[in-house]
Amino acid sequence: MIIDRIENAMRYAGVHPGFREALEYIVKAHAKPPEPGRYAITGDRVYALVSQSNGHGPQEARLEAHRRFIDIQFTVRGIELYGWKSLGACNRESGPFNTADDVGFFADRPETWLPAPPGTFAVFFPEDAHAPLCGEGRIVKVVVKVAV
């Protein structure tokens, strides 16, 4: 897991093939946020999901993990709060892994909380169980999915 400010985003461009395109996209989204929707960056290998949602607070945290994609989540507006727990420490699956949507959920509670105000991005790898939208109020964010 990585959490940092947008002005440092390009420092991570070499971490994984596809990160350069993904990080360039969030830097542009910071300057001019796109409308909600799905945007192809490099076909289905790197794409962005732009959303506006209400945060549900930490009491409603639901850990999730992915196998085929890395999430780069960028807060445009609002105060996002992420719950985090190492996937290896999660032991309470809440249903089978959904391969079509590349997501599995866990009933475990996060062990770490990460505030992400506007201009902050977080990278969640397949070994990172994470609970998004744990902030309060309206949250506008960009999630870039990067194929593992």
pTM listed for this prediction: 0.95
Residue that the structure tokens 């994984």 belong to: 16
Span 92-136, pLDDT tens digits: 999 999 999 999 999 999 999 999 999 999 999 999 999 999 998
> Where exactly are the structural domains of the chain?
2-147
Which tokens belong to 31?
A: 């300057």
Q: Which CATH superfamily is domain 2-147 in?
A: YhcH/YjgK/YiaL (2.60.120.370)
What pLDDT is recorded for position 98?
97
Among candidates 102, 125, 132, which has minimal Cα distance to 1? 125
CA-to-CA dists, residue 42 to 39, 92, 126, angstroms: 9, 35, 20
CB within 8 Å of 111: residues ≥ 6 apart: 84, 85, 86, 89
